[in-house]
Amino acid sequence: MKYVIDVIDCKRDYRVATTTDPLLLNVLNDLKLAAVSELFIGHNLSISVNGRQDIALSNFEDYESWIVGLERWSAWQSDIEEKMTGKDLAEPLIETAQIGVSSAVDPSHYRGMLAGLPDYGWIDIESRKAKYKDPVVFLGAVDLQESKYMERLGKKDDPLQERKKSLFYKMYAILYMENGCLPIKANEVHKWIAAMPAMPHKTM
């Protein structure tokens, strides 16, 4: 599917940018913004799919959900194409949900938000901003993220995915504190998770 994304200035109801990149990297660069979350302060997105305008995103959480949906669709398409070529025809189509949960917990769209810093994701960038220099303030923000996923458990996405996202933020806070409340990188948390002993039933 082809997406054309218009960035709309809410106050003027005026289009300020157009892109075909769902990650909005060029838009962020042109508008001198560090993260997609900042874009929704005064802007929303109007998205045309295959030439038909039918998606409007007015906040970062909706955008985040849309991106996760794209990743799931891409993973599903890749899995179906592999099955159609005759590979692993005896395997049941059970891996798609696992891929979706994994990519949602460690989504690629959170990376590469700053030019020249491809490994820095959204939370890494936020932790380095002046407003989050105070560890109490930053940890409070991380705790809110952790709580968000548990509060909506079973109401939005796969409950396993929500629990893993909540766990990610808890572990991020722990590593941040063990680092003397100095900024870390999300990749360190994912490495910590990957180094954990294997769990039964492939839950990790």
- Summarised one tens digit per residue, pLDDT across range 104-161 is 444 444 444 334 434 466 788 888 888 888 999 999 999 998 898 888 888 777 788 8
pLDDT band at 86 (very low <50, low <70, confident <90, very high): low
Cβ neighbours of residue 156 closer than 8 Å, sequence gap 6 or more:
65, 162
Q: Rounded to whole angstroms, how far apart are CA atoms 28 and 32?
A: 6
- In this model, does residue 193 exceed pLDDT 90? no
Band of pLDDT at residue 180, cut at 50, 70 and 90? very high
* pLDDT of 42 above 70: yes
Q: How far apart are the first and last CA of the chain?
A: 31
Query: What tens digit of pLDDT does each residue of 128-141 get?
Result: 888 888 999 999 99
CA distance 82 to 76: 10
- Choose among 148, 154, 183: nearest CA to 167: 148
Q: What is the pTM assigned to this prediction?
A: 0.44
